[in-house]
Structure 1
Amino acid sequence: MRWYSLLAIYFLFWAFSVFFVLPFGVKTADEAGVDRVPGQAESAPHEFNVWRIVYRVTIVATVAFAIFLLNYHYGWVTPHTLDFSGGANGAAQ
């Protein structure tokens, strides 16, 4: 696989990991024990640390990408493994 294909796939893993990581570790103002700013939604985070999110997302994306790459190299799970319909020969009958 070419390096830019790997880079694009890693970027996709990173982008998907953002949605997985964002809900974890968030505290609202009520949970943090501080007053809300007037007009602030009850569910709004008390503080938002971008670099902590980037760090966590990078770790999750790197682990997921490593598993993907190992599967690509060793072929643990292939499309043939996931074919539950009986294969192309069974479907043609």
Structure 2
Amino acid sequence: MRWTSALAIYILFWSFSVFLVLPFGVRTTHEAGGDHVPGTAESAPHEFRAGRIALRVTVVATVLFVLFQLNYHYGWVTPRDVDLFGRMDMETR
């Protein structure tokens, strides 16, 4: 695999990991014991720490990307393994 392809795939893993990481560790102002500011959503986070979230996302994306690269190299899961409808068998006939 070319390094540019690997970089593009890593960026995809990173952007998808944001959605995996964002819901964890979020505390609303009510949960943190603060006063609600009129005009803000009650579900808004009390403190948004972008650096901490970026670090968590990077760790998750790196782990997933390493697993992807290992699977690409060793072939643990192939397209035939996930062929639920037997279409790969139809191509060999």
TM-score with structure 2 length normalisation?
0.92
- 2 CA distance for matches of 1:80 and 1:89? 9
Q: What's the C-alpha RMSD, in Å, of the aligned pairs? A: 1.8
Partner of 1:19: 19
Aligned pair count reads: 93
Partner of 2:85: 85
Which structure 1 residue ranges, 5 or more long, are not aligned? none
Q: Which amino acid aligns with 2:46?
A: H
* Structure 1 stretches of 4+ moved >6 Å: none
75 and 88 in structure 1: CA distance in 2 versus 1, 3 angstrom threshold: closer
Matched position secondary structure for 2:82: coil
- 2 CA distance for matches of 1:73 and 1:59? 21
Tell me, yes or no, if the aligned pair for 2:80 and 2:88 is still in contact at 8 Å: no
- 1:31-42 matches, within 5 Å, as 31-42=31-42
- 1 CA distance for matches of 2:48 and 2:89? 54
TM-score with structure 1 length normalisation?
0.92
